[in-house]
Structure formats: structure tokens, C-alpha cells
Amino acid sequence: MAEEGKLHIVLLPWFAFGHMIPFLELSKLLAQKGHKVSFVASPRNINRLPKTPPSFFPKLNFVEISLPHTEGLPENAEATADLPLDKIQYLKKAYDGLQQPLTRFLETSKPNWIILDFASYWLPPIAANLNISTAYFSVFTAPSHCFFGGSEHAFDRTEPEHYTVTPKWIPFPTSIRFRHYEILRLSDGFSENASGVSDLTRSFMTFDGCDLIALRSSFEFETEWLNLLQQLQRKPVIPVGFLPKKIDNDKEDADDTKSNSWKVIKKWLDKQVKESVLYIAFGSESTLSHAESTALAHGLEQSELPFLWALRNGKLPEGFEDRIRPRGLIWTSWAPQLRILSHDSVGGFLNHCGVSSVFEAIQMKKPMILLPLFLDQGLICRVLEEKKLGYPIPRDELDGSFTSESVAESVKLVMGEEEGKMYREKVKEMSGHFADHELQDRYINQFINHLQHHGCRLP
């Protein structure tokens, strides 16, 4: 028998780690408040998630639903990180095959709410038939959603150039728009793929079908964008905070591979001068072209700054590692990013404008050098530039190319020059909102309060 006033909430993320990890963090916060949480994913994805402390059980349950065999999808490929970009369409097709087994689970478990992702556009109608409310938890930013507009704007823009100007429905001054090269890299999301549904269509159908929209955000950070998104979507938009991680809760066993990685990295960082090291990382799924990685490497070399580069993909110029040793450390396996950013010797973060990386940088008071690569990262870059939280490496407007000189000049500006002081000061000023766990707790309480009072099936 359910506890009085307590909810049963099912969470179904899209199978990309940039989505699954925030969904897991939200799940843990809901479970901490005493609600029953069912986190649904494929078996291999569940096994690869960060280990959840025993204290969360039995409130937090992991529900395994296997992906159906799908032609074109390699065996054991269950997340976007397992696939090249051109194969992700087959993962979306397999993901759509979760409809029947998920429906059976919902029929027997009878949850109060389902928190879903952009990819499961087919879920709101299923939930409505079962008298279950739905919340779309978006890992994308409010400005990005506002840029694409409401349903009436979904297909107004028919040419790439239409996305290179700020849309007319944004009523306040902003520089948010795509560069020409960014929209060309994103154009695959506008067309049908092997699943038969474009990413744009998935997003708009999910927006239209859900009962509310939850965002990893706060009114302290982007009031005007959250208010505009609610106007555009005509339904409640509720920020859930930034889901900041506590480093102390991420300890590994002494013999764990991740713990050993941190020991090696920390030993190197401990030898460096305070705020002198540039940390470089582009997430687990972003890939630099050969020309980009070469320009970046030569730029780091020219900057003469100490740096730590978490390099998951890409080929370095011949002899580069020998020339930069011991000033630079190239790390090619898993890197404990939050721990690295928390270290006193790190003074800046060169990244791809991935949401989690951006939030962690602000939380740890690290100014950013920005190099957006795909998806909505270009839009995030514009917002960070407006807020003086990061400085974008200058690039060619048409093809996105950049020079080693622009890399060297950008990192030196942000890391130490007088002209970059505003970035260093602004990120420290803003960090309080991102690291404030009491503020985070208030946002989660407000979110839960809405779920408790506005669902189809009240607890």
C-alpha cells in the first residue's frame, strides 16, 4: 500500500548519457523525498550508470526493458555513445519499439506520473489512456527551446538561413542564433530518419502531449527565458534546479579504476600553480575533426599555459605529446571531471558548451573558453557569451574553422589577461546559484508539490 501523499514516478530518459545522468540525479532527489521511483532503461545502460548508494533503495528501483532487435543497429549498442552519428537513427527506431513492453509495465505498476524525454513522443497518448500524467523533463536549455518556438512555429523555417537570425517571437534583446556552419551540422535533425520521425517532430509532439515541462534551470539564472517558454508552450514550465553533484558522494573504492585515475591526475594537478591550468574536455560523444584537433593542439602549444586535456576522440599532431611534456597532460581514459574542476590549480575550462559541463564549470567557479560542436551548443554559447560566463574562440562564420592563434589568444585572455577579468569574476558571482543545495532543495520541493496537486491520479 502506498504511503499517504507519496507518489510513484516512472522516469524514461533517451538513451544518451547526457540525458540518462540528469534523469538519474532527478530520480535520486525524488527518492530522497520518500517517493517511489522507477527508472526505466535497457539492461546495459543501467549497468553503466554511476553506482547508486544503497541508502536510495528500496525507493529507487531500476526497471530493465530490452531494446528490440533492429536492423541497422549493431549488437550491444544501447546508447548514443556506442554509435557513430549516422547510426543513431537506428537506436531511435529501436527505442520506439519500447512502446509495448513499457505499456505492460505501466498497466501493472499504475504510477501517478511519468517523466519522459524528447524521444518518446508516443508516450503521452499511452499515458493518457491509462490515466497517468506526463512531465517532459528536458536536458536542453530554456533559450534553446524558445529559439525553436511553439508548435505554430515548428515548420515555419524551411531554409538553413532562417535559423541564422534571432526569431521574431523573442521579445527581448538577445544575440541567440545559429551560425551558418552550426545549422548545417544540425540539419539531419530536421529530416526523417530510419525511425520515420525527425528529431524536430519528436520534440514538438512531446511538448504538445505532455502535461507539464520540467527544466534543469532556475529563475535566478534565466527568468525571462522560462517565462517566455511557458507563453510559447501554453502549459506549466517548472525549473527543478541545476541538480548539482556533491563530490563527497562520488567516492570510489580504493581499488577502483576511477579512483586510481583521480590519484594520477590529482598528483599532477597538485604540482601546478593555483588557477594556472586549463582543463579541456568535449564530453563522451563530441568529436573534433582532424583539422580542429590539430588547430587546438597547436594553439595550446602556443599559449605556453599548463593544461589537462581529456581526449576521448581525435588524433594529435605528430610529436605533440613529447613537445608539451611535462607542461601538458593528455588523458585518454575516463576523467573525473567534477573533481578536476574543483581543484585549486584549474583556472579555466575549454569545452563544447554541453549543458552538464557548463553547469559544472559554473558550480566550480571556472570561466569558460567555448568551442560548440553540434546540437544546440551554438545557442548555449551565445547565451554564455551574453552573460559573460564564457568567451567563444573566434571562428569562420561559414565553415566553422578556427586557427591555432585564435585558440592561444582566447585561452590566455580568459585565464589571466585584464580583458578577461570580467569572465573570471562573473562566473564566481554566478556560482552561488549553482552550488546552493538549499536552493536546489526548494526547487525539488516545488516540483513535487506540483506533481502532488495536479496529476490525473492524486496520491
Q: Are residues 121 and 234 in the same domain?
A: yes
In single-letter form, the type of residue at position 186 comes to L
Same domain, 332 and 206: no
Q: Are residues 233 and 263 in the same domain?
A: no
Record the pTM: 0.92
Report if residue 382 sits inside a domain.
Answer: yes
Indicate if 193 and 260 belong to the same structural domain.
no
Pair (222, 126) in one structural domain? yes
Q: Does residue 319 sit within a domain? A: yes
Residue 290 lies in a domain: yes
The answer to whether residue 390 is domain-embedded is yes
Average pLDDT estimate for 363-388? 95
Mean pLDDT to the nearest integer, 110-117: 97
Q: How far apart are CA 420 and CA 405, in angstroms?
A: 17
Total domains present in the chain: 2
Pair 120, 161 in one domain: yes
Per-residue pLDDT for 338 more than 80? yes
Cell of residue 450, nine digits:
506540483
How confident is residue 284, by pLDDT bands cut at 50, 70 and 90? confident
Does the pLDDT at position 55 exceed 90?
no
Query: Is the same domain home to 301 and 448?
Result: no
Mean pLDDT of the region 348-372: 96
- CATH code at 441? 3.40.50.2000
The mean per-residue pLDDT over the stretch 42-70 comes to 94
> What's the CA gap between 289 and 41, in Å, rounded?
31
CA distance 426 to 421: 8
User: Which range of residues forms the domain containing residue 306?
Assistant: 252-435
Closest CA to 186 of 357, 373, 355: 373
- Give the orientation angle of helix 437-454 with respect to helix 17-32, to 10 degrees: 80
Tell me how crowded residue 153 is: count the other CB atoms within 10 A of its CB: 15
Q: Is 31 exposed, middle or buried (0-12, 13-18, 19+ CB in 10 A)?
A: buried
- The answer to whether residues 377 and 450 belong to one domain is no
426, pLDDT greater than 80: yes
397, exposed or middle or buried, with CB in 10 Å at 0-12, 13-18, 19+? Answer: exposed
**Which pLDDT does position 249 carry in this prediction?**
40
Which helix (H) or strand (E) segment is 277 a member of?
Answer: strand 277-281
Residues 150, 295 within the same domain: no
Kindly provide the residue ranges of all beta strands, DSSP E only, lying in 389-430, ordered along the sequence: 390-392
Clarify whether residues 327 and 375 are in a common domain. Answer: yes
Q: Is 298 inside any structural domain?
A: yes
Q: What is the pLDDT of residue 147?
A: 95
pLDDT average, residue stretch 371-397: 95
3-class SS shares of the chain: helix, strand, coil, % to 5: 50, 15, 40
> Same domain for 238 and 263?
no
Residue 189: is its pLDDT beyond 80?
A: no
- Distance, CA of 62 to CA of 254 (rounded, Å): 26
**pLDDT higher than threshold 80 for residue 457:** no
pLDDT tens digits for 212-260? 999 999 999 999 999 999 999 999 999 999 998 777 544 444 435 667 8
Give a yes or no: residue 3 inside a domain: no
pLDDT of residue 160: 81
Q: How many CA atoms lie within 13 A of 196 on its CB side?
A: 7
pLDDT higher than 60, residue 306: yes
Backbone angles phi, psi at 350, to 5 degrees: -95, 115
Q: Report yes or no on 173 lying in a domain.
A: yes
User: With 80 as the cut, is the pLDDT of residue 22 above it?
Assistant: yes
DSSP state of 379: H
Tell me what percent of the residues of the chain surpass a pLDDT of 90.
77
Q: Does residue 118 surpass a pLDDT of 60?
A: yes
Q: Can you give the pLDDT at residue 2?
A: 53
- At 402 the pLDDT is 96
Q: Let me know whether 207 and 126 are in one domain.
A: yes
> How many Å apart are CA 41 and CA 183, to the nearest integer?
31
Better-predicted residue by pLDDT, 100 or 154: 100
The set of cell numbers assigned to 455 is: 496529476
pLDDT in tens, 316-332: 999 999 999 889 999 99
Asked if the structure places residue 381 within a domain, the reply is yes
188-197, 257-266, 422-431: which range is least confident on average?
Answer: 188-197
- With pLDDT > 70 as the criterion, what percentage of the chain qualifies? 95
> What pLDDT is attached to residue 253?
42
